[in-house]
Amino acid sequence: MLLCKGVTRYDLIMIAQISGVVIKKGPDFAIIDVGGLGYKVYTTVSAQRLLKKDENASLYTHLSVRENALDLYGFSDEEELSIFEMLVSISGIGPKSARAILSITDAATLRGAVAQGDASTLTKVSGIGKKNAERIIIELRDKLGVLEENSAPIQEEVDAIEALKALGYSVKEARDALKRVSRDISGVDNRIKEALKVLGR
């Protein structure tokens, strides 16, 4: 991240979103030009999909402040950012681990894993063993307010999103379409059919 005269560490702490031209992309980061300043933003897989070199982009952001560094993390939407900030609030989970978790699973799938108490998703991340994964699931359940009796509807939504992804839609397209489907319509198949109508298919 580049700083210029008159810009302080404390000014940057207020960054909540960044919009500009993508001038470089790496495997897990992008450099975004904002008014002549190049900001290095570490990204999740879903955020990376939104970015194209030499095109405008906008990401929700979280600034990680350490003694010797300021690292900016970028996210595809507010839900992904919210999950990231919940993860980094858990003892032992830093921003790199939180980003790694959101790079192997999207926010909706992670919510479903939390609802089901399924820690196997998290153990795919290097450095997170079974015990730590189970602890994270428990703490996330408290933060998300996920109750066990609500796990079936949440899992239905996760399954519906996965099915729509298999049909070629992005997570955002699937999620937005399902939000427009009445909650009175239950069952994965029924919600997928209604979502496809919203998507015009």
Give the CATH number of domain 150-198; options: 1.25.40, 3.40.50, 2.40.50, 1.10.8: 1.10.8
Q: CA–CA separation, 154 vs 144, rounded Å? A: 12
As given in the structure block, the two tokens for residue 135 are 């602890």
Instruction: Decide if 20 contacts 35 (C-beta within 8 A).
Output: yes
Fold (CATH) for 78-146: DNA polymerase; domain 1 (1.10.150)
- Residue 69's Cβ-side half-sphere holds a number of Cα atoms within 13 Å equal to 6
Strand partners, 64: 71
Residue ranges covered by each domain of the chain: 9-75, 78-146, 150-198
* Phi and psi angles of residue 36, each rounded to the nearest 5 degrees, phi first: 95, -5
Burial of 151 per CB tally in 10 Å (0-12, 13-18, 19+)? middle
Give the CATH number of domain 9-75; options: 1.10.10.10, 3.50.50.60, 2.40.50.140, 1.20.1250.20: 2.40.50.140
**One digit per residue, pLDDT tens: the chain, 201 residues?**
444 444 444 444 568 899 999 999 999 999 999 999 999 999 999 899 889 999 999 999 999 987 787 899 999 998 899 999 999 998 889 999 999 999 888 887 888 788 777 888 888 888 888 888 888 888 888 787 654 444 445 667 777 888 888 888 887 788 788 888 887 788 888 889 999 999 986
